[in-house]
Amino acid sequence: MSNGNRLTWAAISGTWSFPESGVEYTGPEDASQPVGVALSSRRLRNGRMSASIRLRNPGEDAGRLLLGYNTVTGGYYSAGLGGYGRAYVIDEHVPGRRWQAIAHEGHVSQLGGSTAYDVQVENGIDLLDRHLPHPLEGYQAGLFAWGAGPVTFENVIWSAVGRPRAFVVMEFTEPFDSLYTEVIRPVCEDLELEPYRADDVFRPGLILQDIISGLVESDVIIAEITPTNANVFYELGYAHARNTPTVLLARRNGTLPFDISGHRVIFYDDSIRGKPEVETALKRHLRSILREHQDTSIA
């Protein structure tokens, strides 16, 4: 089902209607569990999501933007209006432990039942000046509602924030530095990807924090795995555990660890003649990932 923003919606729980003018939660399927979740065809990885939300009964209902939906566990975050007796709320749904408030401001009495409130969330920034307790487990986004309803969501909009990002994992030595500056960076920039390595970040703090941020916030990971480097394989394992799209590079005629041997790897020759070949292969892989990232089908 689609609305005027050409989004496709799937009702996961509760009853929903999807008119051209917006989205409306019309009530629960079971009065003992008055919760509604609707997933959209868009993902929130590096972007912004906003909507105007109207609660008929602010004292009983809630309406929030939903992000980080994990299709395996059913866990997610929500940010918006109502719940816990508060006006503005961020909470987390942990399967088996129900909902847990992360941050809240104001009293629910501050919300007017006839007023539409503009709510916006952005991946990669603090919400209500709070860090989320852990990174998003998924990038499926949607809407959350609680109560008897109706709860209306109008002008649901997704917008990109900057270019998609490619985090590059490799040893910071030659010849890999040259591979990064002469091949990986130009290919990414040609595809309008923003490439960076942990040593591109110049700020105080632990480099591990920069690495984790890069792994969590990037749209694709590019890993050079020729040397048996513990740090590189730690970061690669972290990316695989998060199901982040990953492109592997390795010099030809090397020996790969057993756990990597089943993955698709771009092998290259460390020579002038080998440069066009690895550029072409890397560009082909990245284009494929970007097409999948832009796909609007329900996952």
User: Does 15 map to a domain?
Assistant: yes
* 191 and 270 assigned to the same domain: yes
Q: For residue 269, give the CATH number of its domain.
A: 3.40.50.450
Q: For residue 118, give the CATH number of its domain.
A: 2.60.120.560
* 181 and 43 assigned to the same domain: no
* 46 and 153 assigned to the same domain: yes
User: Does 2 map to a domain?
Assistant: no
Global pTM reads 0.62
| Six token digits for residue 70 | 């994990």
Cβ neighbors of 280 (< 8 A, separation 6 or more) are none
* 262 and 154 assigned to the same domain: no
Q: Are the C-beta atoms of residues 36 and 148 closer than 8 Å to each other?
A: no
Q: Which of 143, 160, 177 is the last residue of a domain?
A: 160
Number of domains in the chain: 2
Q: Which of 109, 128, 160 is the last residue of a domain?
A: 160
Q: Are the C-beta atoms of residues 99 and 105 closer than 8 Å to each other?
A: no
Domain range enclosing 146: 9-160
- The β-bridge relationship of strands 116-122 and 35-43 is unpaired
* 146 and 244 assigned to the same domain: no
Q: What is the pLDDT along the chain (299 residues), one digit of tens a residue?
A: 444 345 689 999 999 999 877 899 999 998 888 999 999 877 666 668 899 999 999 999 999 999 888 887 888 999 999 999 999 999 999 888 889 999 999 999 999 888 999 998 876 444 455 555 555 555 678 999 999 999 999 998 877 666 788 999 999 899 999 999 999 999 999 998 989 887 765 444 445 666 777 777 788 999 999 988 888 888 888 888 777 888 999 988 777 765 665 567 899 987 767 789 999 999 999 988 887 655 433 33
* 247 and 134 assigned to the same domain: no
